[in-house]
Amino acid sequence: MINIKTLEEIELMRESALVVSRTLGEIAKVIKPGVTTLELDKIAEEYIRDQGAVPGFLGLYDFPNTLCMSPNEQVVHGIPNDEPLKEGDIISVDCGALKNGFYGDHAYTFAVGEIDPETKKLLEITKESLYVGIRQFRAGNRVGDVGFAIQQFTEAHGYGVVRELVGHGIGREMHEDPEMPNYGRRGKGKKFVEGMVVAIEPMINMGTHRIKQYSDGWTIKTADMKPSAHFEHDVAIVKGKPELLSTFRYINEALGIETDEELEFRTK
Ligand code: MG
Ligand code: MG
């Protein structure tokens, strides 16, 4: 069942999404070679609690930490550890928060120092594919329209779209209906209506779309050990159109990136 949100609930969800956005902004300030993902996890947990929220992943399905930290060939659900990040790594950071009874869920793949041009392109295209997908999240369109757009855009670059993990509705539960695959067929699946809120989250591999799970029961990595990127936004349908609830603004400020890529999806 799809839980439709009122405008008041959507504003509460924006608050939850912004807790996560600001937390990722703090992480952006301190990601550099030598820092460990466990150190970043502690920073995120404290920062979320300082904002009157609680970490959304900690304890969810028994996940042990605040952040999912997935370097290089890891796709998602990596567990923070005390191994230092190295120059040239990429690290996908996925963060959730619960505030006022609603979840935010939002992810970004960071470069650690200088990365090679091929990997840089993977990050750029994956982030762009997120907006390509969001553009299709409007009243009257269907789940397959978002997936089709993301798949077509990323496969044109020779990349692999992960099949087994998908975006999702979000609200009082972290994972609500509908599932939002990053692949699909135009015009297929559930229809989008006013007040729907979803997390759209392309997980895009440089090589094969195939994945494997580590024996820890969590970590997902690419089957060919090539890098994978992950970007995620929370989006509502307001006045028939996609309205971004989360933002990369704080990350961009921390990294000195100037962009207007979110403008078309923002009334506030
Ligand atoms: Mg997430
Ligand atoms: Mg998600």
pLDDT tens sequence across 142-200: 999 999 999 999 999 999 999 999 999 999 999 999 999 999 999 999 999 999 999 99
Contact predicate 106/68, CB 8 Å: no
Provide φ and ψ at 30, rounded to 5°.
-115, 0
Q: Among the bound ligands, name the one nearest to the CA of residue 24.
A: 1
Q: Among the bound ligands, name the one nearest to the CA of residue 76.
A: 1
Please check whether residue 2 lies inside any domain of the structure: no
Report the alpha-carbon distance of residue 268 to residue 212 in Å, rounded: 40
Report the alpha-carbon distance of residue 192 to residue 140 in Å, rounded: 6
What's the full length of the chain, in residues?
A: 268
Q: Residue 261: CB partners within 8 Å, gap ≥ 6?
A: 127, 131
The confidence band for 57, taking pLDDT boundaries of 50, 70 and 90, is very high
Is the predicted pLDDT of residue 268 greater than 80, yes or no? no
What's the gap in Å between 199 CA and the centre of ligand 2? 5
Tokens representing residue 181 in the block: 């695959």
Nearest-10 Cα torsion for 153, 188, 262, 249: -90
Report the alpha-carbon distance of residue 252 to residue 258 in Å, rounded: 7
What's the gap in Å between 81 CA and the centre of ligand 2? 21
∠22-12-189 over CA atoms, to 5°? 95
Please check whether residue 153 lies inside any domain of the structure: yes
In the predicted model, what is the mean pLDDT of the chain?
Answer: 97
Residues forming a β-bridge with 75: none
pTM for this predicted structure: 0.97
Please check whether residue 197 lies inside any domain of the structure: yes
Residue 106 sits in which domain range? 7-265
Domain total in the chain: 1
Is the predicted pLDDT of residue 262 greater than 90, yes or no? yes
Query: Which CATH number is 229's domain given?
Result: 3.90.230.10
What's the gap in Å between 234 CA and the centre of ligand 1? 9
Please check whether residue 215 lies inside any domain of the structure: yes
Helices then strands, counting H and E runs in the chain, come out as: 5, 15
What's the gap in Å between 97 CA and the centre of ligand 1? 10
Q: Among the bound ligands, name the one nearest to the CA of residue 68.
A: 1
Q: pLDDT tens digit string along 2-44?
A: 999 999 999 999 999 999 999 999 999 999 999 999 999 999 9
Please check whether residue 1 lies inside any domain of the structure: no
Q: Residue 188: CB partners within 8 Å, gap ≥ 6?
A: 142, 143, 144
What's the gap in Å between 107 CA and the centre of ligand 2? 8
For residue 226, give the 3-state DSSP assignment: coil
